[in-house]
């Protein structure tokens, strides 16, 4: 058995390029792109909105805060139900957000909802946490 005839000569090894590192890097890049593509949100519908010459300003919803003691607050100051009625009447908001403590009496929240419905606000939301 002559193993020397299968061995490469020194001149043949000069032209040999090692591809191991290149294949490793290509595999890592493909793996990275595969992982990142699953994290990207899927949005397949592209919508282009038309432009208008006159824009309507966005109206923020009115906010009423009820603390754990049942006190009402509007814009950071304590108010009564009559003040809330006056506040709702004089704003241009179409929605009301009630930010109530989870320990507040249910009746206090219902009073504000009823007051908002009487004043013409059809959308009443109660703020929650996720």
> What are the start-end ranges of the H helices in 40-105?
81-89
Q: State how beta strands 72-74 and 62-66 pair.
A: antiparallel
What confidence tier does 103 reach under pLDDT thresholds 50, 70, 90? Answer: confident
Give me the phi and psi of 28, to 5 degrees please: -65, -40
pLDDT at 91: 82
Residues across the chain: 130
Tokens 């009301």 correspond to what residue? 96
pLDDT at 31: 93
What architecture does CATH give domain 62-126? 2-Layer Sandwich (3.30)
Tens of pLDDT, residue by residue over 15-62, are 677 888 999 999 999 999 888 877 756 544 455 566 766 655 566 788
- Would you say the pTM of this structure is higher than 0.75? no
The two three-digit tokens of residue 122, written as one number: 């059809």
pLDDT at 45: 47
The two three-digit tokens of residue 51, written as one number: 């432009």
Q: 2 vs 23, which has greater pLDDT?
A: 23
8 Å CB contact between 98 and 70: no
8 Å CB contact between 81 and 111: yes
**113 contact partners, CB below 8 Å, separation of at least 6:** 98, 124
pLDDT at 79: 92
Return the domain boundaries, the chain: 10-39, 62-126
Number of Cβ atoms within 10 Å of the Cβ of 121: 18
Tens of pLDDT, residue by residue over 63-97, are 898 988 888 999 888 999 999 988 888 887 788 99
pLDDT at 48: 56
pLDDT at 5: 57
């Amino acid at each position: 058995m002559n193993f020397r005839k299968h061995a490469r000569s020194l001149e043949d090894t000069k032209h040999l390029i090692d591809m191991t590192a290149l294949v490793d890097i290509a595999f890592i890049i493909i793996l990275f792109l595969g992982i990142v593509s699953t994290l990207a949100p899927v949005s397949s519908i592209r919508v282009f909105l038309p432009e208008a010459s006159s824009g309507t300003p966005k109206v923020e919803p009115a906010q009423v805060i009820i603390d754990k003691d049942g006190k009402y607050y509007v814009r950071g100051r304590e108010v009564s139900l009559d003040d809330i009625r006056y506040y709702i009447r004089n704003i241009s908001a179409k929605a009301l957000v009630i930010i109530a403590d989870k320990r507040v009496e249910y009746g206090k929240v219902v009073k504000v909802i009823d007051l908002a419905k009487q004043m013409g606000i059809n959308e009443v939301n109660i703020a929650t946490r996720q």
